[in-house]
Every structure is written in structure tokens, then in C-alpha cells.
Structure 1
Amino acid sequence: MSQPELQTTATVPANKLSSRAASWRAFYRKLAKNKAALAGAFIVLIFFLLALFAPIIAPHDPLHIDISKKLEGPSAEHWLGTDDKGRDILSRLLYGSRISLTVGVLSTVLGAAVGILMGIIAGYYGRWIDSLLMRICDVLLAFPGILLALAIVSVLGASTTNVIIAVAFFAIPTFARIVRGSTLSVKKLEYIDAIRAMGASDSRIIFKHILPNIVSPIIVQATLYIASAIITASALSFLGMGTQPPDPEWGTMLSQGRSYIRQAPHITLFPGLVILIVVIGFNLFGDGLRDALDPKSKK
């Protein structure tokens, strides 16, 4: 190979890397200017760290029962008080973050994976495949999320695994519609026609050229959906259809403390506040990602 050919071959990857680096720098600059997004990212990061290091941080065993200390308010020994069985609320909240965040993330990943596949196939091939897949999404969207999740858990049984499946099921049509719309826009571009004319297979066009160009709305929707997944999972546990006692899940803690809401309001207050803060954090971060990844945004 001659020297000019070597230089040309080396220049193409270098140009691609430099353009990607420039786009990432622009993304970080936009995100850094959004104080609300940074606050949301900080909240999300803190809760993931708390969940990761819960065994080290938790001052007590979250399952240890001590009836002699039941319904105690916040104190030096139990910073957030104890529940109706004398268990430390702070420790249960820390361990509960593991369950709630795991349910939120896994259900979103599972629902997004199926929804992305359905949406990109429907948008790329169109015709009867598009009609069939979108009608399936319409049927799923016809049911309110919590009712659909309740129906699925009622059939499968109450457990954390089944909650993940139920919450993921409702995420499928949302991701499918977003991906379908983005795919319809991208596949009309001239470079897709050029790649197809060069003999590229459908799978190569879909996964190497279309999917990387529609990843931005997927990331934004996934971040926002985690908040909805946490709320839905907590609601199912509150109704007794989710994570079962004695596992320390936030919705289960709310359900167990409602009988003592006048006598010991701290039992329901702190789990409720934690759910509120986490959901706000994910929503703020998701909104910031949407603004930073929007090519039309000039701010």
C-alpha cells in the first residue's frame, strides 16, 4: 500500500473520533449549564451509592426485630426511628433502595429492549408488520399502567421478579412508538439509501446505521421511565402485590406503617419522602438529558 493510501486510511477514523469527541463536549457543556439537571444527577448518584454500600452504611440489621423498641421516634440510636416491630427504619430504607432501584432499572431495560426491537422493525419494514406491531401497542396503551401491572402480577403471583416483568410490560409500547417515529425519520435520509444501494443487509442498516442515530430519545425516555417504574413498583408493594415482607421495600414500608400513621407518623413519612426525592431526581435528570441531547437547543 502506498503512502497516500495509508494516510487516507488513518485520517478517516481520526476524523470520526474528533467529531464524536466534539459532540460529547457539546453535550457536557449543555448539561453542565442546567443546574436542575445537575441536582437530579447528584440525587440519582447518591441513591445508587447508598444502595451499593448499604451493608456498610446501615447502622442495624434491617430484619432484626426488637419489640421492646417498637414505634420509637428518631433518636441517637435510631436516627429515623423504628417501625411496629422495632426494626431500624434508616437501615430498612437503605436496603430498600437496592430493591426499588433494581426494579426500576431492570424493568426499564427489559421493556426498552423489547420496545426498541418492535419499534425499529415496525418503522423500517412498514406495511403489515408496522400495522400489526402498532395495534399490539395500542392494546397495551389502552390500559392504565397500574391496572395492567396489577393484572399481570395477579396472574403471575406477588414477587419482586414478577413486579419487574409487569412494570416492563407497560414500558414496551412507549419505547416502541418513540423508536418507530425516529426510525421513520432516519430511514428517509439519503445516506441510508446509499448504504442500501451498496448492498448492505437490513440487519446491518438497522443496527449499525439507524439505531446509533436514534439513541438520544431512548436514553431520555429510559431515564424518565425509571421514576415511573419506581412509583408503580411501590404502589404494587403497597397493595400487597409486590415485594413481600419482611423484605424492606419502600412501598411495603408505607403499607405496614399506615395503621400507625397517627401514633407514629415517621414510619410512613420517611419512606414517602425517599420515594418523592428519588422520583424528582430522575425527572430532573431526564429533563436535563432531553435538553442537552436536543440538537435544536441553542441554550
Structure 2
Amino acid sequence: MPETTIHQPVEKPRNPHIENFKNIVKRLKKNKAAMVGGFLILLFVITAFVGPYLVPFSAGEQVLVNKLQGPSAEHWFGTDHLGRDIFSRIIHGMSITLYIGFFSVVIGAIVGVIFGIISGYFGGKIDTLIMRAMDILLAFPGILLALGVVTILGPSLNNVIIAVGIFSVPSFARIVRGSTLSVKELEYIDAVRALGASDFRIIVRHVLPNVFSPIIVQATLRIATAILTAAGLSFLGLGAQPPKPEWGAMLSDGRNYIFDAGHVALFPGLAIVIVVLAFNIFGDGLRDALDPKMKS
């Protein structure tokens, strides 16, 4: 009687990177607050791109006879002292706010990661020199450091991005340095070095991917700080200049009418609070998802 051969299905090898990503998403989904923050961030990004084309008024349209009107069916958030629709200006200003937050953090992250990896990997005098420079920057309160940079460079939107980026550098540098010190002591790094890999190759191919998670978390949290700092600078008249509908500048205009027409300052202030809160709670959830051991 002929033997019957049963062929067992061969399982395809699982990609550890894909599996790790699925686990991160699964842990992130369990955090309801983080999911709400992520949904709000997605909503803000979509609104920044398509919102200006949907609102009924342009950002600079002035109708002086309608100035300081309260919220109504025509003007959802009311009008400001020049008769401009506040809701339309907030929607137009969302792209400016996200632009400042994103690009200032990109600048701070790129410079900070480079300094942090060099400091942690090579150590010695280079480490001491870089870290003392970071300590000097950290000795200044963030808003004060940004204020000094903008004062030197002059008030403008791009200078605000540079200023916020500069004061974001030390936080990235310190986090990346700490992670690099841990990664470079791993056995497989010694093995790669023994095989003749250059320092540049080790840093790019082996160290940087292992310190990427804390960089992402720090960047998400730092965007909230960058938005808040940029709004503070605009509130002082050193950020985006009129007639750009930047939320900090709108808040500054509204303080003159806070008792007579409180809505002029209320709605830009609420917009800043909601955006900053969304990035903060999403960043906290992302940190817990990427490294559950860090969860308190």
C-alpha cells in the first residue's frame, strides 16, 4: 500500500520590524486619551490643508461695521476689532501654527541628534565640550532664550522657527546622548566594530535606529512646547507680523477688548490650548506604546 505524504504548510518567516510595529499600534489603541489626541492632530492637519478653502471669509477681509460682534449664525466665533471673522482667521492660522511647530522641531531634532550621538559615541573631551554647551543653553528659560534670538534676528515667522529650534536642541541632545551611551555598550556593536566597520557606518546603521524611538516621542512632545513658545513670541509682537492670522498675535489683539468683547481673545486662546493638549496626550501615549517599561 503506497505511503501517503502529508505536506505541512510552511509558515513564512515573520518580519520582526512589522511585528514590532503591530505591537506598538496595539498598545497605542489601548490608550484612549492618546487615540483622542491622535485623532485631533489628524483633524488639525486636514483642516490646515483644506480648511482655508471651505471657510466663508478670507483671513484679512475687513467689514468695520461688523466689528466686535459676538458669536452668531453668520460669524460662529464673532468678529474682531476690524470686523474680521475670527473663525475663518483661526482656520487660516492653523497652517501657520503647525508649520512653526513642525519645522522648528525638525531643526532642533536634526542638530540635537547630531550633537547627542557624537557626544555619546566618542565621549572624552568632545562629550564634555558638547554637554557643557548644552548646559549653557539649558540655563536659560526656553521662552527667554527664544526671545533673545528673535530680538537679535528680528521679528518674523522664520526667525521664530529658528529661535524655537535653537532652544529645542539641548533636550534632543541629552536624550540621544543617554540612549547612545547604552547602545554603544551592546555586544553586537563590539562585533560589528571587530569586523572592521567604520564609526560612521556603526552610527548610521546600528546606533541611530536604536535611539529613534525616544527621538520620535520627544519630537511629538516638543511640538506642543514649540507652538506654545511661538504663540508667546507672537503675543509679544516678535513673531508673525500682521496681517497674518497667527493665534498668538490674535490673542494679543484680543486682550484690549477682554472685558467688552471677550470672545476676541477666548477663541484663539482655546485653539492654542486644544492643539497643545492634543500633542501632549498623544506624545505621552506614544511614549508608553514605544517603551511600556517607562509607563508609571
Which amino acid is the alignment partner of residue 264 of structure 1? Answer: A
Question: How far is the alpha carbon of 1:57 from its aligned partner?
Answer: 2.0
Map of 2:85 onto structure 1? 88
- Correspondence for 2:114 among 90, 98, 117: 117
Structure 2 residue matching 1:240: 3-state secondary structure: coil
Paired residues of 2:155 and 2:239 also in contact (CA < 8 A): yes
Q: Any unmatched runs of 5+ in structure 2?
A: 1-11
Question: How far is the alpha carbon of 1:246 from its aligned partner?
Answer: 0.8
Paired residues of 1:115 and 1:172 also in contact (CA < 8 A): yes
- Correspondence for 1:28 among 22, 25, 37: 25
Residue 98, structure 1, aligned to residue 82, structure 2: no
Residues 69-118 of structure 1, C-alpha deviation per residue, up to 9 Å, x if partnerless?
00011111111110000001011000111111100000001100000000
Which amino acid is the alignment partner of residue 259 of structure 2? Answer: R
TM-score, L = length of structure 1:
0.93
Question: How far is the alpha carbon of 1:131 from its aligned partner?
Answer: 0.5
Residue 236, structure 1, aligned to residue 236, structure 2: no
Which amino acid is the alignment partner of residue 236 of structure 1? Answer: L
What's the % identity of the aligned pairs? 59
Map of 2:62 onto structure 1? 65
Map of 2:39 onto structure 1? 42
Residues 273-296 of structure 1, C-alpha deviation per residue, up to 9 Å, x if partnerless?
010111110001000000000053
Map of 1:277 onto structure 2? 274
Residues 149-207 of structure 1, C-alpha deviation per residue, up to 9 Å, x if partnerless?
00000000000000000000000000000000000000000000000000001111001
Question: How far is the alpha carbon of 1:28 from its aligned partner?
Answer: 0.7
Divergent runs of 4+, >3 A: none
Paired residues of 1:81 and 1:266 also in contact (CA < 8 A): yes
The CA distance in 1 between the partners of 2:45 and 2:273, in whole Å, is 15
TM-score, L = length of structure 2:
0.94
The CA distance in 2 between the partners of 1:298 and 1:53, in whole Å, is 37
The CA distance in 2 between the partners of 1:84 and 1:241, in whole Å, is 21
Which amino acid is the alignment partner of residue 113 of structure 1? Answer: I
Residues 43-63 of structure 1, C-alpha deviation per residue, up to 9 Å, x if partnerless?
111111111112222210110
Paired residues of 1:50 and 1:57 also in contact (CA < 8 A): no
Residue 140, structure 1, aligned to residue 140, structure 2: no
Q: Any unmatched runs of 5+ in structure 1?
A: 1-13
- Correspondence for 1:267 among 264, 267, 280: 264
Please tell me the root mean square deviation across aligned C-alpha atoms, in Å. 1.3
